Amino acid sequence: MALNIPEIYGSLVFNDKIMRSKLPKDMYKALKKTIENGTHLELDVANSVAVAMKEWAIENGATHYTHWFQPMTNFTAEKHDSFISPTGDGQVIMDFSGKELVKGEPDASSFPSGGLRATFEARGYTAWDPTSPAFIKDRTLYIPTAFCSYSGEALDKKTPLLRSMDTLNRQAVKVLHLLGNKEIRHVTTTVGPEQEYFLVDKDLYKKRKDLIFCGRTLIGAPAPKGQEMEDHYFGTLKPRVSAYMHDLDEELWKLGIPAKTKHNEVAPAQHELAPVFDTTNVAVDHNQLTMEIMKKVADKHNMVCLLNEKPFEGINGSGKHNNWSMITDTGVNLLDPGKTPAENTQFLVFLVAVIKAVDDYADLLRISVASAGNDHRLGANEAPPAIVSVFLGDELTEVLKAIESDQYFNSHDAVQMDIGAKVLPHFMKDNTDRNRTSPFAFTGNKFEFRMLGSSSSVANPNIILNTAVAEVLRQFAEELKDVPAEQMEKAVHNLLKETISAHKRVIFNGNGYTDEWVQEAEKRGLYNLVSTPDALPHMIAEKNEKLLTEHKIFTKAELYSRYEIKLENYVKTLHIESCTMAEMIRKELLPAVSACMEQTARTASLKKSVVPDISVSSETALLKKLTALEDAMTEKLDKLNEDTKDAESMTDPLEKAKTYQKTVLADMESLRESADAAEVLLPDSMLPYPAYGELLFSI
């Protein structure tokens, strides 16, 4: 049966078309004004919208509604209320008021708050984000909301994200007006997150505690085949995967998520999905939903979708690419080199602003993607290094060099420059030089931030990116605000020149995977914050606190609470991994090794009992190897347990995280070596858990 995509697309979304048809004209207009300009929503409008939403939701099978929010975990949260309202005569009516639409009060005492919200006033409230559309899932009307404490502190990821979009809007509009582009009223940021994931068979998954508890394997010898043949990337989809992807697309489309591209990734069993980009807060909501639906649809297909950054050792991990740009209310992409000299100037101002922002706040960008899982990727030769640098490509780098040296860009004869006097080359959208090793690459009309881990919300990096760029634009506006019109061109040129000269160190077009780059970056004074505990202290550095508080993204208390939550998450993740590994070794692998030794010893003595002078050298050799590995594992297991206990007893959160990273993680690596060596010696029939080969190649 043919699928009518235009018909199903957005069929579960309370979108503009539905709003227009369901709402009285004046109410529709008032709501649109709120959505487009962020104006206050009057109660009568809220009531009218609530009635329309309820009717539409009930028509589409919904019985409940929920305020859907994004606490400071990587997950979303929801509390369901039914629409029923008893009428006193044993009957009910289906009711939903404007007040219930606009504000909710989940009992939120168990969400991480980093000490922000004393438990005696555990109630936070959720507030509708009318710029992200409501939708129906599992017969429930989902209302996207922000989550705050009663004293107004943000307890979620959406509130600071909306604040960051707002500050970028204000600063960008200011700069555009100064550049003479006075009709612009609004600038929004856009995001298209490409999402990587693994699919494994559910029955195999259930046999591995590490996958169940940690989402990644903690032990496991490599399969005879990995990704070395490079035969998986963009390869033909296997029928089971293809069926999954079709189902997934359909579910996403119904929710108005524009899933566009899907393909196999580099590692076996690894895949990618990319949607068409959208306004940042909508893209963030959609990415959260996408991750959830990916898991749900996998379950239906008797598979499990792994979003962990490093599910398997020795093959690529999973990330997320955050494609980002800025667009005006007149539809101009500010990172698209224009066709006229004036557009060029504007493009260069915004381009250079992003470069400076990345250089000034590289540490915050690194932190925005920091997690225990992502630490296994960044800097391994498969993902961008932990050093944040910007890829521009040769052509654009030349343009900036020309500006810096007062030369007009012209590939053949450089002449005295007067920026704006000549049209820049229109950089090809299909920039052929796609440097995959760069963490922050210009790709023709947008930047692609590639350090994100696959499991994290994309909110954090966008909060930082928006705010850092807003701050640079604020500085630019400050510099240009008193310049008379006839001197503007010169002033802009000087501003660009100075900025390029001060921040060109962050531009790097070479191979980011090499050791030479690590050394070169150090010489240039760039950060190389290798692990999460290395990076996190920078979060509360003075310049970063200043940025985030002055732009009203976080109060100081909010910032510190987030810092503590990040440290806590790191420690908790490593603690769970340590305990899981210890359990697998003690309860599964060591008994399997024992059983194998017993069988081997029995074989040897049986052989001898039949033929007394027979050789048992292979049994003896195996027994010796297994005994040595058994001893090593026992010893290393004791050390892991001891060190974990010591780390756990520490009270200073940063010291604790550092100890986990230095000792516990190292213990786990060392234990894994012995475990994987033992695994190789066991016959398949005695393996206590499915091996890599089975996990990666059975679908």
User: Does the protein bind ligand ADP through residue 656 (CB under 6 A)?
Assistant: no
Q: Verify binding: residue 196, ligand ADP, rule CB under 6 A.
A: no
Q: Is 406 exposed, middle or buried (0-12, 13-18, 19+ CB in 10 A)?
A: middle
**CB 562 within 8 Å of CB 370:** no
- Cβ burial 220-253 (10 Å sphere, 16+ → b, else e): bbbbeebbeeeebeeeebeeebeebbebbbebbb
**Two tokens, residue 522:** 């150090």
**Pairing state between β 64-68 and 140-149:** parallel
Task: Please give the C-alpha separations between residue 198 and each of 188, 318, 369, 408, in angstroms, as whole numbers.
Answer: 33, 8, 20, 48
Helix, coil or strand: residue 9: coil
Q: Which of residues 327-346 bind ligand ADP (CB under 6 A)?
A: 333
Q: Which is nearer to ligand ADP, 50 or 283 (CB)?
A: 283
Determine whether 615 is exposed, middle or buried from the number of CB atoms within 10 Å of its CB (0-12, 13-18, 19+).
Answer: exposed
Contact residue for ligand ADP among 320, 446, 493, 497 (CB under 6 A): 446
Q: Which does 622 bind (CB under 5 to 8 A by kind): ligand ADP, Mg ion, none?
A: none
Q: Which is nearer to Mg ion, 194 or 534 (CB)?
A: 194
Q: From the list ligand ADP, Mg ion, none, which binds 410 (C-beta under 5 to 8 Å, kind-based)?
A: none
Task: For strands 92-94 and 84-86, give the pairing.
Answer: antiparallel
**Is the CB of 145 or the CB of 438 nearer to ligand ADP?**
438
- Using the minimum distance from each CB to ligand ADP, give the nearer residue, 100 or 272: 272
Nearest-approach distance from CB 647 to ligand ADP, in angstroms: 39
Using the rule CB under 5 A, is 174 a contact of Mg ion? no
- 227 within 8 A of 266, measured Cβ to Cβ: yes
Which residue, 254 or 321, is less far from ligand ADP as judged by CB?
321
Q: Which residue from 102, 162, 172, 274 is in contact with ligand ADP, where contact means CB under 6 A?
A: 274
Whole-number minimum distance, CB 305 to Mg ion, in Å?
20
CB 378 within 8 A of CB 384: yes
Provide the minimum distance between the beta carbon of 464 and ligand ADP in the complex, in angstroms, as a whole number. Answer: 16
Q: Regarding beta strands 390-391 and 440-442, do their DSSP bridges make them parallel or antiparallel, or are they unpaired?
A: parallel
- Minimum CB separation of residue 9 from Mg ion in Å reads 24
User: In degrees rounded to 5, what are phi and psi of residue 262?
Assistant: -140, 140
Cβ proximity to Mg ion: between 205 and 440 the closer is 440
- Indicate whether 301 belongs to the interface with ligand ADP (CB under 6 A): no
A 10 A CB-CB count for 90 gives 6
Closer residue to ligand ADP (CB): 445 or 509: 445
Q: Does 321 bind Mg ion (CB under 5 A)?
A: yes
Q: Structure tokens of 274?
A: 């990319």
Out of 147, 277, 563, 570, point to the residue binding ligand ADP (CB under 6 A). 277
- Kindly state whether residue 275 participates in binding ligand ADP, applying the rule CB under 6 A: yes
Burial of 93 (0-12, 13-18, 19+ CB in 10 A): exposed
> If contact means CB under 5 to 8 A according to the sort of partner, which of ligand ADP, Mg ion, none does residue 489 touch?
none
Per the DSSP assignment, residues forming a β-bridge with 86 are 92
**Residue labelled with tokens 């602003």:** 353
In whole angstroms, how large is the CA radius of gyration of the chain?
Answer: 28
Task: Select from 2-10, 321-329, 374-382, 431-439 the region that touches Mg ion (CB under 5 A).
Answer: 321-329
Q: Which residue lies nearer to Mg ion by CB, 160 or 384? A: 384
Is 211:580 a contact under the CB 8 Å cutoff? no
CB distance 345 to 492 below 8 Å: yes
For ligand ADP, the binding residue among 102, 191, 495, 671 (CB under 6 A) is 191
By CB under 5 A, the residues from 179 to 238 that bind Mg ion are 194
Spatial CA neighbour of 560 closest among 72, 166, 127: 72
Q: What angle do CA 495, 496, 497 make, to 5 degrees?
A: 90
Q: d(Cα 456, Cα 436) in Å, to the nearest integer? A: 21
Query: Binding partner of residue 67 among ligand ADP, Mg ion, none, CB under 5 to 8 Å per kind?
Result: none
Which residue minimizes CB distance to Mg ion?
321
HSE value, Cβ hemisphere, 13 Å, CA-based, for 661 = 22
Scanning 585-664, the segments in alpha helix (DSSP H) are 590-610, 617-648, 653-659
Query: Candidates 288-296, 321-329, 389-397, 556-564 — which segment interacts with ligand ADP by CB under 6 A?
Result: 321-329
Closest residue to ligand ADP, based on beta-carbon distance: 192
Taking contact as CB under 6 A, which single stretch among the options 185-193, 338-346, 357-365, 369-377 is the one that binds ligand ADP? 185-193
Q: Which of residues 110-149 bind ligand ADP (CB under 6 A)?
A: none
Say which entry of ligand ADP, Mg ion, none residue 181 contacts (CB below 5 to 8 A, set by partner kind). Answer: none
DSSP states of 182-197: TT---EEEEEEEEEEE
How far is residue 312's CA from residue 294's CA, in Å, rounded to a whole number?
Answer: 19
E strand or H helix at 275 = strand 270-275
**Residue 565 Cβ, how far from ligand ADP at the closest point, in Å?**
28
- Residue 11 binding partner per list Mg ion, ligand ADP, none, with a CB distance cut-off of 5 to 8 Å that depends on partner kind: none
> Which of ligand ADP, Mg ion, none lies near 325, with the C-beta cut-off 5 to 8 A by kind?
ligand ADP
Question: HEC profile for 501-535?
Answer: HHHHHHECCCCCCCHHHHHHHHHCCCCCCCCHHHH
Our measurement of the distance from residue 286's CA atom to the centroid of its chain's CA atoms, rounded to an integer in Å, reads 12
Q: Are 287 and 193 in contact (CB under 8 A)?
A: yes
Torsion of CA 45, 51, 52, 53, to 10 degrees: 100
Q: Is 276 in the site for ligand ADP (CB under 6 A)?
A: yes
Quote the least distance from Cβ 402 to ligand ADP, whole Å.
Answer: 26
* Location of structure tokens 């599910």: 311
CB of 326 to ligand ADP, least distance (A): 8
Contact map string, positions 228 to 267, toward ligand ADP, x by CB under 6 A = ---------------------------------x------
Residue indicated by tokens 């590692």: 267
User: Which is closer to ligand ADP, CB of 65 or CB of 277?
Assistant: 277
Query: By CB under 6 A, is residue 450 in contact with ligand ADP?
Result: no
In the complex, the smallest distance separating the C-beta of residue 193 from ligand ADP, rounded to whole angstroms, is 7
Q: Which CB atom, from 63 or from 333, has the smaller least distance to ligand ADP?
A: 333
Smaller CB distance to Mg ion: residue 153 or 194? 194
Partner from ligand ADP, Mg ion, none binding residue 324, C-beta < 5-8 Å depending on class: ligand ADP
Measured from the CB atom, the residue of 276 and 502 that comes closer to ligand ADP is 276
The partner in contact with residue 60, picked from ligand ADP, Mg ion, none with C-beta cut-offs of 5 to 8 angstroms by kind, is: none
Toward ligand ADP, which CB reaches closer, 446 or 504?
446
Residues that bind Mg ion (CB under 5 A): 194, 321
Residues that bind ligand ADP (CB under 6 A): 190-192, 194, 261, 274-277, 321, 323-325, 333, 445-446
